[in-house]
Amino acid sequence: MRHYRDYESEFTTFLRHMKQEHPEIDRDQRDGRKLLWDKPPLQPDELKLAINSEVKLKPYVYE
């Protein structure tokens, strides 16, 4: 009898095989993450500029 922990979906199987055939996928994903998300914290002067540069939005008015 197979236990539920032994189950692997078709999508998971597909991804596992794809990554085995194309190991550069993991590297490309890491590079994309670095580009979009892994950024150093802003310096105080940069943070002040970013806060002061924000466009103030008006609250949405229901009519």
Q: Give pLDDT, residue 42.
A: 86
State yes or no: pLDDT of 2 exceeds 70. Answer: no
Residue 26 in contact with residue 19, Cβ under 8 Å?
Answer: yes
Domain boundaries, the chain: 4-53
In tens, the pLDDT along 13-46 reads 999 999 999 999 999 999 999 988 888 888 999 9
Global pTM reads 0.48
Q: Give pLDDT, residue 28.
A: 94
Residues 6+ apart with CB under 8 A from 26: 19
Q: Give pLDDT, residue 63.
A: 66
Q: Give pLDDT, residue 44.
A: 92
